[in-house]
Amino acid sequence: MANKAKLDDVDRRILRDLQEDGRMTNVDLAKRIGISAPPCLRRVRALEDNNVIRGYHADINPEALGYSVTVFAFVGLSSQAEHDLKEFEKTVSQWPEVRECHMLVGETDFLMKIMAHDWDAFQVFLTSKLTPAPNVSHVKTALVIRSGKQGIGVPID
């Protein structure tokens, strides 16, 4: 597990503003933070180099690309040996339908967020990829009816 980064108030303001608008120019960011552009850019680069900022992404509306179905799948494996867990994660990483995959403690080994164009496409994914995958013992699914909140990033104190 990574060590917690030591951040001051300026770093936190930079992170908060970039998380809200990753396309903001360095000059605009520096103005909002209240520092000049060169030290602001140095701080941003240091945050990137230290893997605090992992990348910049567009927030794409799934429905605009025809993804109308989101399902959470609770996956149990037959074996929880580290090698088998890693093999499952490697397999899942190759499936574009799986947008998130989290290993859990408890009855369920993995929680996955899956997106599909429609219910039929999800069923094809479920029956042709997920349930027949090596080491999968059971899958329970929950269809998302609507999402009341979809936050980006992390809360920044």
Is residue 99, in this structure, part of any structural domain at all?
yes
One domain for residues 37 and 93: no
Per-residue pLDDT of the chain (157 residues; tens, 9 = 90+): 446 778 999 999 999 999 999 999 999 999 999 999 999 999 999 999 999 999 999 989 999 999 999 999 999 999 999 999 999 999 999 999 999 999 999 999 999 999 999 999 999 999 999 999 999 999 999 999 999 998 888 999 8
Is residue 151, in this structure, part of any structural domain at all?
no
| Cα angle value 56/60/63 (rounded, 5°) | 165
- How many angstroms separate the CA atoms of 109 and 89, rounded? 11
Number of domains in the chain: 2
Could you tell me the CATH number of the domain that includes residue 132? 3.30.70.920
User: Domain of 122?
Assistant: 62-143
